[in-house]
Amino acid sequence: MRNFRHLVVLFLFSAPLATLAALSANDLPATSQWYFHADLEQMRATDAGRVLYRWLEDEVFEEVREDTGVDLNQEAESVTAFSVDGNGIFVIIDGDISQQTRDKVLAMGAAAGKFDTLKSGQHAYYHVADNGHGSGHNGERNVDIDMDSFDDGAFISFAIDKKLLVTSSEQGMRALLADNGRVSGSKGGQGTIFVISAERSFVQAGVRAGDLGDEIGWDSNILRNTEHAALMIADKAGKIAIEAQLVTTEKELADSLASIVRGLISLQMFNSDMDPKVAHFLQSTSVDVDDSTLTISVALDPETVIAAIE
């Protein structure tokens, strides 16, 4: 393994989370800062999704297979990851995880340089970190932890039946193990992070945007006055529907953002060098405002979406 990033990618894509056909706010703690959910099984089950899935195979799975020897295409069905204020990152994965995958995950963890076996009650878990001494051939280091969210390493457990649990904090891991690998959702109460959902969602993601500008060093009035941002990619009558929503503090800001987006789309349409498929993407995009929520949406043939991505 060339890089600790490959191990983290493996955590995010290595096995099923079959219980979540679509993510809702009820599945996330109230203090969640961001979330990501990919339903790979849903992608494989629909005509529109299979095009997106083949792109994912080529761009993600192949690299992980080459670098780790683990074939995600054989086991991955879905994955959910989220960050909780004060408790770090959580990855909860359900499914039949092969012994071969378990062995490879632990072997890669051991290769990181620091590998400790720990216990919480009757449940075992592992702490994987880079102690600065992981090495490859000829004494060269082949593991490098450079992810801010995992700067204390990762905590991994297979102790709960048909679950792979990964957290960035020991406190988070012990809490998951104590609750049999479950997480208590917010039940959609006040202050819950915003989630866009559909019956056939492929990808869902979102962020609590209020403090995002400070975190990334971007002094933006728009970010300061945006409470939530969310994205969904789903199947809509054989097309790939993409929807993004921003929830602002005031309706006036949502109206202003809608005008800016419409203006940017109009300006781009005058670009004579633009690929026709990308131009079609822009022409098909709708921009709407409902009170303080700005919605940008488009539904396109899968091939057009992939062309725009590439």
Give the model's confidence band at 18: pLDDT under 50 very low, under 70 low, under 90 confident, else very high.
very low
Give the model's confidence band at 294: pLDDT under 50 very low, under 70 low, under 90 confident, else very high.
very high
pLDDT given for residue 4 in this prediction:
41
Measure the CA dihedral 157/3/205/299, to 10°: -130
Residue type, 224: R
Nearest to 34 by CA among 73, 109, 72, 90: 90
pLDDT at 129 over 60: yes
Name the more confident of 292 and 163. Answer: 292
Cα separation of 219 and 221, whole Å?
7
- 304 CA to centre of own chain: 23
Going edge to edge, which strands form the sheet with 114-120?
Answer: 114-120, 123-129, 154-157, 163-167, 88-94, 78-84, 32-39, 201-208, 226-236, 239-248, 293-300, 286-290
Cα separation of 67 and 84, whole Å?
30
* Domain boundaries defined on the chain: 4-20+30-178, 209-309
Average confidence (pLDDT) over 13-38: 69
Span 33-73, pLDDT tens digits: 899 988 888 888 898 999 888 888 888 778 777 776 666 66
Give the model's confidence band at 19: pLDDT under 50 very low, under 70 low, under 90 confident, else very high.
very low
Alpha helix stretches (DSSP H) within the chain: 4-13, 40-45, 47-56, 62-68, 72-75, 99-111, 170-178, 212-216, 221-224, 251-268, 276-283, 302-309
Span 188-240, pLDDT tens digits: 566 688 899 888 899 999 998 765 555 555 556 777 788 899 999 999 988 99
* pTM for this predicted structure: 0.78
Cα separation of 83 and 207, whole Å?
10
